[in-house]
Amino acid sequence: MLITRQFDRTGKKSMSMATTQNTRDKAAAISQDRSSVAQPSTTLRGWLDHLAARDRLAVIRSGTSLQFELAAISKRLDGIKAVLFPHPGGHRMPVVSGLVSDRGWIAEAMGVEPSNVLRQFQAAALNPLPWEEVDGAPVQEVVHREIDLLKLLPIPVHNEHDNGAYITAGLLIARNPRTGIQNVSIHRLQVTGPNRLGALLLPRHTHVFFEAAERAGQPLDVAIVIGVDPLTLLSSQAIAPIDFDELTIAGALHGAPLPVVKCVTCDVRVPAEAEIVVEGRLLPMVREMEGPFGEFPQYYGEEAKRHVIEVTAVTHRKDALFHTIVGGGLEHLLLGGIPREATLLAHLQRSFTNVLDVHLARGGVCRYHLYVQISKRQEGEAKNIIMGAFGGHYDIKQVVVVDEDVDIHNSTEVEWAIATRFQADRDLLIVGNSQGSKLDPSTRDGVGAKMGLDATKPLDATEMKFKRIRVPGEEEVDLAKAVSSISGRSWRQATTA
């Protein structure tokens, strides 16, 4: 059921109908994990305020070049601060980057503890909230129908060998031509002409919709939404079935239905509170060169003939902000990693009730190396869990299973478990010639090997054999009290006093 909201002149929303009971129940179902004070973040602007209040938003001097310099500064601050460039490359429109380059920040955006991020995302995917349509939206305050993308928007060039300017943080929304249900995903988009974009569509949902449209000789209408809140960004990366509208996960994470508005040149509905929307259509029977482009495995995605979008309109807020994700940075890695972790955890827990947690390690580009923490009950089960994980996503290349005393968010801890609880002749599982990631350059066009390591303790080991050493009282030491005020330089004086 759709509910219409009105925007008054101040841009404040007023609901014209009460929220349904069903909607309230769903919102309540997922909000129980939230700490009592924290509220989920629902707009990019609100999120920037949140970061700024915690001294996590660096504002850069005017005049930054869009060619490399903007990406260089963003990368230096990757994981430390988000970045705002007020007037890059002579544009009036600011650029922001690094909005979610830390797992703890994502927890804050959700309003939960970091240990509850995966559970909260799973709960949102299980209790989606339908969006509400509004007439008139901030994102349509300004409408352009004469399009020159590089003049209208401050679109940067990121990596050394990128083939030009790329829109990298655009949520591509399309409707299933058969059912009308929307899909949301992020695709790299190279600016190839004043109103033309080259797009990489891997064989997922947008690709399926486009194939159906192309078979009928039709273009596929799309909207590219730039400048949304972190939870909507995260929702775009959910591994959901086809015809599961990812915007309904965003609504669930917000705890309120997402307000959406109809595009000015097509029927696609877009988040009303976004900053910018590029409307267009994927052209049937047209492919043009796109790439190379610096990708998440820290290598270039190759140049090839790819899909083409013809832009029909650009709409934005009066004082819009442009969001860019630097290819291969933490923002890119975490946005893909966390929804995958949530899906993989649910997948493993369906078959193995003793799986406690999973983590996609940063060294494995938050895609290829999975750490699994279990409460071991039975010899051999770690290998079954490894096989289950290989089936969870073809990107998974290495799985390490550890006991509950190992912190899987700390790669040094996992390496310690391998060093002291694993023997390759007994605990290693290798599966050759299986499907992997095409972006892993060591595969043969996506065909490669998988490796699983059982780094759990044997159940029959004597208690002392695998007992971690510990100094009693270490955690309780109050260093402020324990350390003398005499400086180290005066150590002779301290020892003779």
Ligand X SMILES: Cc1cc2nc3c(=O)[nH]c(=O)nc-3n(C[C@H](O)[C@H](O)[C@H](O)COP(=O)(O)O)c2cc1C
Q: What are the residues binding ligand X (CB under 6 A)?
A: 168, 183, 185-188, 200-202, 204-206, 237, 325, 332, 335-336
Q: In sequence order, which ranges of 193-275 are alpha helices (DSSP H)?
A: 205-215, 230-235, 247-254
In the complex with ligand X, the residue whose CB is nearer, 107 or 201, is: 201
- The angle, 0 to 180 degrees and rounded to 10, between the axes of the packed helices 44-53 and 103-110 is 120
In the complex with ligand X, the residue whose CB is nearer, 167 or 400, is: 167
In the complex with Mn ion, the residue whose CB is nearer, 205 or 207, is: 205
| Ramachandran angles phi, psi of 180, nearest 5° | 80, -5
Minimum Å gap between C-beta 437 and ligand X is: 12
| Distance from C-alpha of 260 to C-alpha of 171, rounded to nearest angstrom | 14
| Distance from C-alpha of 81 to C-alpha of 100, rounded to nearest angstrom | 9
How many other C-beta atoms lie within 10 A of the C-beta of residue 382? Answer: 24
Start-to-end Cα distance in the chain:
80
Binding-site member from 81, 175, 187, 205 for Mn ion (CB under 5 A): 205
| Residue 495 in tokens | 């020892």
DSSP states of 338-404: HHHHHHHHHHHHHH-TTEEEEEE-GGGTTTSEEEEEE---STTHHHHHHHHHHHH-TT--EEEEE-T
182 binds, among Mn ion, ligand X, none (CB under 5 to 8 A by kind): none
Minimum Å gap between C-beta 109 and ligand X is: 15
Q: Is 16 helix (H, G, I), strand (E, B) or coil?
A: coil
In the complex with ligand X, the residue whose CB is nearer, 293 or 400, is: 293
30 binds, among Mn ion, ligand X, none (CB under 5 to 8 A by kind): none
For the chain, the 3-state helix, strand and coil shares in percent, each to the nearest 5, are 30, 25, 45
80 binds, among Mn ion, ligand X, none (CB under 5 to 8 A by kind): none
In the complex with ligand X, the residue whose CB is nearer, 281 or 421, is: 281
| Distance from C-alpha of 34 to C-alpha of 148, rounded to nearest angstrom | 44
| Residue 182 in tokens | 């929307």
| Residue 208 in tokens | 């399926």
436 binds, among Mn ion, ligand X, none (CB under 5 to 8 A by kind): none
In the complex with ligand X, the residue whose CB is nearer, 445 or 478, is: 445
In the complex with Mn ion, the residue whose CB is nearer, 15 or 200, is: 200
437 binds, among ligand X, Mn ion, none (CB under 5 to 8 A by kind): none
186 binds, among ligand X, Mn ion, none (CB under 5 to 8 A by kind): ligand X
107 binds, among ligand X, Mn ion, none (CB under 5 to 8 A by kind): none
Query: Which residues, other chains included, contact 325 with Cβ-Cβ below 8 Å and sequence gap of 6+?
Result: 97, 168, 169, 186, 331, 332, 335
In the complex with Mn ion, the residue whose CB is nearer, 127 or 192, is: 127
In the complex with ligand X, the residue whose CB is nearer, 205 or 281, is: 205
**In angstroms, what CA-CA distances link 275 with 139, 171, 228, 305, 450?**
5, 12, 7, 30, 42
Minimum Å gap between C-beta 205 and ligand X is: 3
188 binds, among ligand X, Mn ion, none (CB under 5 to 8 A by kind): ligand X
CA nearest to 232, candidates 216, 219, 251, 213: 251
Instruction: Rule CB under 5 A: say whether 315 interacts with Mn ion.
Output: no
Minimum Å gap between C-beta 122 and ligand X is: 15
200 binds, among ligand X, Mn ion, none (CB under 5 to 8 A by kind): ligand X
For the segment 158-197, give every residue that binds Mn ion (CB under 5 A): 183
Question: In the complex, which residue's CB is closest to Mn ion?
Answer: 205
**Per-residue contact flags (x/-) with Mn ion for residues 345 to 384, judged by CB under 5 A:** ----------------------------------------
Site for Mn ion, rule CB under 5 A: 183, 205
